[in-house]
Structure 1
Amino acid sequence: MKRSLLLTSGFLSGALFLTGCAGESNSGTEGEEDRTKISFIHWRGEDKAVLDDLIAQFEEENPAVSVEMTIYPSEQYQATGQRLLQDGSTGDVFTSFPGAQFEAIASAGLFEDLSGEDFVSNFDEELISVGQKDGAQLALPYQLVFNMPVYNKGMFEELGLEVPKSWSEFQTMADTLLENDITPIAFPGADIGPNQFMNSMMMNNAPDEDVFEKLQNGEESLTNEWWVKTLEDFQLLEQKSYIQKDALGTSQDSAMAMVANEEAAMLATGSYHMSALLDLNPDLELDLMAPITVEESEAMYEGINTATFMLAVNSKSEKKEQAKEFIAFLSQPEIASQYANETGQHLTINDVEYESEVLQNTAYWIDERKTRFQPRFLITNAQIEAAVLSSIENVLGGAEPMEAAKEAQQIVDENRD
């Protein structure tokens, strides 16, 4: 979706609503009565144009099948996705988030086992384990996302700033930006909240990748140092004005506009917004940077990765073979390459050719940097996930870290598995 640099946030919100609302669809019309129509549901409104084109190609290659695509806002999809699948009439092909949604849909028995399908070999086997449960491949992650701040690399070079390697260096960098009337971090608290930023903020405070599993089974607590320290770090960001005023009331569109207009140096979301930022300002030079919240010698991780947008077949569907044909089509390297380059997404598909400059410039994060799978998606209980995120929002709203941690831990204790 092309957008001019000076679009107002209201207009941009409206545009995103139009591309992200339920009921958007694409299906063939010629000979429709002779085709088997399959339903494809997901939450990526920003991908509508390229998916419309890919669906048209699929229908041309498979004249007996048509695809009706319906796109929901991501929050609505997380809340209602499982219900949509129940009777098999919707979502012959559907997508799932990792973590709590995946676990809920798996527990409801709504994933068709894809383990024996030939197209599974089109995916990098090291990146699809998040879609496995009890030895079965229930879903196939399509996107490889880096859930850590996007930063203005050109701005850093102009100011002589280097990517910080410790928490003290991060604060020095942020102070320099403030001295130049630049907000260090644009934080979209109104709609995205801390969902993405929490991952890189805690990755080195709690290097144990099983920490949230232990939290859910009672071996860990949010009142322990790893989480209280994370909340204290968020408090520091707010108190030192490293994030903008009224961060909890700032929309995604407004935060993106701050970065596009070079009023802010970083966007606290992830790589999936790089393409949209370049649509807003093609002159930006962007890269990725996670805050290192410990001393350099203590840092185990440099960033966050997530294999997401997990493609799946509804076990209740009466059109499973056609649904599998569509996933097989999307997993072909040439088709996946088109999707990757037109959406600005790294993928989990083998032999994808990245032609866009932003993808080529950030591909080093795949193999050359020590990244960790997004911790938030390892929280499989939705109530506990909400409590963890709320504790951050409470601190940004003025609560003391330990008090926010205690309040959240009480909810954890009430909802432990």
Structure 2
Amino acid sequence: MNKKLSSFLAAIFVMVLALAGCSSNETGGSGKDGVTEISFIHWRGEDAEVFKELISKFEKENPKIKVNMTVYPSEEYQSTAQTLLRDGSTGDVFTSFPGSQFEIIKKAGFFADLSNEEFVQNYNENLIEAGKADGKQLAVPLQLVYNQPVYNAGIFEELGLEPPKDWEGFLALCETLKENGYTPIAFPGADIGPGQLMNSMMMNNAPDEEIFAKLMAGDAKLTDEWWVNTLSQFKELTDKGYIAKEALGTKHDGAIALMAQEKAGMLASGSYAMAGIKQQNPDIKLQLLAPITVAENEAKYEGVHTTTFMLAVNSKSEKQDAAKKFVSFLSESENAGEYANKTGQHVTLKDVTYESEELKDTAVWMEKNTRFQPRFLIPNADVEKAVIASIQAVIGGTDPEKAAAEAQKIVEQNLSK
């Protein structure tokens, strides 16, 4: 090979290396002026403004990283997130629900291992278990929420009502609300209502936290007493007019508006709805309760909690260093505290100071005996849909035993796969 050709090839090789360095996201320079752009996707539209503020702060501290946020409706996000993550171009930082979505994403291999990242130490170890699998911390749940009804404390005070301690007491409470012209339970039956209220409705009917694992192993059935009884209690609430049949057409935003207008005594969703209600009615007083569906002396649990909005880094991303910096930023107690107080969400981090009244008021639930949300312990998405559909069917008029049998067929179809 002559010297001119050797020099030419060497120059080409140097250029290729230089170009590779410019496009490498791990070394920080991927876009214009060496700025790395990362994609952040989630489902919390109500938190978007707060995240914009936090992103602006992050970008000032990290001028070589730009964060592009995309928010999807929660139902769409649950069904499509894994598809969005597939090629690594979207969702460098993403969020996951616990339960079936976490399982699907884990099986697809889209979670980068965060076990050795320093920011994991900022979290309460007992509250991030939902993001662990196979001995690895694959995601860090940011939110601590209570998946049980929100109630209007002002209306309760006006009517002399207290959160009941058994099923008969809950029915009596609903009747008092109804007699006084209030909708007892604002129920978003068109989207999240069935999947949320089921948690506290079944928490003491099936106190075994392994019940859905047993269901998927064939050792329990939806036609057993625990689920038929739960559906029967949904039927009782519907038959007595405490949940309106037309609620199957009500979405969460509509149910929130009903609460904000003080036309309903309770909202069948969770603590995460409180900020949205307060936005529309800043003077409203809110608290939480969970229906106790058994006799007081038989109740094991007082309520239901979930650690969710699990922050994760896409293993397919070429920008993992930048993505981890953003997750680390969100995991600092100061920033997590800003998020908590501006969104009305409890968080899973240590050393966070809560300033908003609703967070101070509901912090009492941290001391109560609550169980992890049962619905998120259903590992199969088709079975989860069948369970929720059985509730909707009963509210629509189907006999509880028939609805349970139809849902059990879906379980058995998935057992045979």
TM-score (norm 1): 0.91
- 1:395 partner SS: helix
Report the CA distance between 1:302 and its aligned residue. Answer: 0.8
1:379 and 2:394 matched: no
- Which one-letter code corresponds to 1:114 in the other structure? L
Question: In structure 1, what is the equivalent of residue 77 of structure 2?
Answer: 77
Q: Output the CA distance in 1 between the equivalents of 2:173 and 2:88.
A: 53
> Partners in 2 of 1:164 and 1:158 — Cα distance?
16
What SS class does the counterpart of residue 195 from structure 2 fall into?
A: coil
Offset at residue 51 of structure 1 (A): 0.5
- Cα displacement (A) at 1:193: 3.5
Q: Specify the alignment match of 2:8 in structure 1.
A: none
Pairs within 5 Å for 1:210-229: 210-229=210-229
1:197 aligned residue: 197
| Other-structure match for 1:43 | 43
The separation in 1 between residues aligned to 2:191 and 2:385, in whole angstroms, is 14
Match of 2:28 in 1: none
- Number of the residue aligned with 2:389: 390
Stretches of 4+ aligned residues off by more than 4 angstroms: none
In 2, Cα distance between equivalents of 1:48 and 1:32? 26
Q: Which amino acid counterpart does residue 261 of structure 2 have in structure 1? A: N
SS of equivalent residue, structure 2 residue 48: helix
Confirm whether residue 161 of structure 1 aligns to residue 161 of structure 2.
Answer: yes
Distance in 2, matches of 1:334 and 1:137, equals 22
Task: Report if aligned partners of 1:193, 1:393 keep a CA contact under 8 Å in 2.
Answer: no
Rounded Cα–Cα distance in structure 1 between residues aligned with 2:264 and 2:381: 32
Quote the residue 2:407 is aligned against: 408
Tell me if the contact between 2:222 and 2:404 (Cα under 8 Å) persists in the aligned partners. yes
| 1:349-364 correspondence runs (5 A) | 349-364=349-364
- Please tell me whether the aligned partners of residues 245 and 396 of structure 2 are also in contact (alpha carbons under 8 angstroms): no
Question: 2:344 and 2:336 mapped to 1: Cα distance?
Answer: 12
Distance 1:263 1:310 in 2: 34
Point out the structure with the larger helix share.
2
Supply the distance in 2 between the matched residues of 1:401 and 1:222 (Cα, whole angstroms).
Answer: 11
CA contact 2:193–2:268 (8 Å) conserved in 1? no
Residues of 1 paired with 2:166 and 2:255: CA distance? 25
One-letter identity of the residue aligned with 2:63: P
Give the unaligned 5+ runs of structure 2.
Answer: 1-30
Contact 2:193 2:252 in 1 (8 A): no
1:243 offset after TM fit, Å?
Answer: 1.3
Q: Distance in 2 between matches of 1:181 and 1:49?
A: 36
Describe the superposition over 1:36-85 as per-residue Cα deviations: whole angstroms up to 9, x where unpaired. 11111111111111101111111111111111111111111111100111
Alignment-derived partner of residue 238 in structure 2: 238
- Paired amino acid for 2:157: E
State how far apart, in whole Å, the 2-side matches of 1:322 and 1:407 are. 48
Which structure is larger by alpha-carbon Rg, 1 or 2? 2
* One-letter amino acid matched to 2:404: A
SS at match of 1:95: strand
1:176-325 aligned at under 5 Å gives the runs 176-325=176-325
Aligned AA for 1:230?
A: T
Q: 1:391 to 1:245 in 2, by over 3 A?
A: closer
Identity over aligned pairs, percent: 62
In structure 2, what is the Cα distance between the partners aligned to 1:33 and 1:50?
A: 27
Distance 2:160 2:44 in 1: 37
Whole-angstrom CA distance in 2 between matches of 1:186 and 1:244: 8
1:168 & 1:182 partners in 2: Cα distance? 19
CA distance, structure 1, for counterparts of residue 388 and residue 141 of structure 2: 24
Per-residue deviation, residues 340-376 of structure 1 (Å, max 9, x unmatched): 001110000111110001001101111x211010000
Per-residue deviation, 1:279: 1.2
Residue equivalent to 1:327? 327
Structure 1 residue 244: Cα displacement = 2.6
TM-superposed deviation, 1:34 = 2.3
User: Which amino acid letter does the alignment assign opposite residue 362 of structure 2?
Assistant: T
Distance 1:301 1:349 in 2: 24
What is the alpha-carbon distance in structure 2 between the residues aligned to residue 230 and residue 133 of structure 1? 31
Work out the CA distance in 1 between the residues paired with 2:382 and 2:263. Answer: 36
**Displacement, 1:245?**
4.2
Measured in 2, the distance between the counterparts of 1:33 and 1:377 equals 44
The superposition leaves residues 218-272 of structure 1 with CA deviations (integer Å, 9 ceiling, x where unpaired) of 0000000000000000000100001134110112222112211221100000000
Alpha-carbon displacement from aligned partner over 1:102-121 (angstroms, at most 9, x marks no partner): 00000011100100111100
**What SS class does the counterpart of residue 196 from structure 1 fall into?**
helix
CA distance in 2, matches of 1:222, 1:94: 33
CA drift of 1:191 comes to 2.2
The residue aligned with 2:22 is none
Match of 2:114? 114
Q: How far apart, CA to CA, are the structure 1 residues paired with 2:63 and 2:247?
A: 50
What is the alpha-carbon distance in structure 1 between the residues aligned to residue 325 and residue 363 of structure 2? 29
Q: Is the 8 A contact 2:333 2:350 kept in 1?
A: yes
**How many pairs does the alignment contain?**
386
Cα deviations across residues 133-185 of structure 1 (Å, max 9, x unaligned)? 01000010000010100001111111111110000111111111111111110
**Aligned partners of 1:204 and 1:293 also within 8 Å:** yes
Indicate the residue corresponding to 1:343 in structure 2: 343
Secondary structure, counterpart of 1:188 in structure 2: coil
3-state secondary structure, aligned to 1:246: helix
User: Is residue 32–residue 66 contact of structure 1 (8 Å, CA) maintained in 2?
Assistant: no
Distance 2:47 2:226 in 1: 37
Paired residue type of 2:378: I
In structure 1, what is the Cα distance between the partners aligned to 2:222 and 2:250?
A: 27
- Return the offset for 1:32: 4.8
Tell me if the contact between 2:148 and 2:288 (Cα under 8 Å) persists in the aligned partners: yes
The two structures have a TM-score, normalised by structure 2, of 0.91
Alpha-carbon RMSD across the aligned residues, in angstroms, is 1.0
Distance 1:122 1:360 in 2: 21
**8 Å Cα contact 1:274-1:286 kept in structure 2:** yes
Q: Which moved more, 1:133-142 or 1:237-246?
A: 237-246
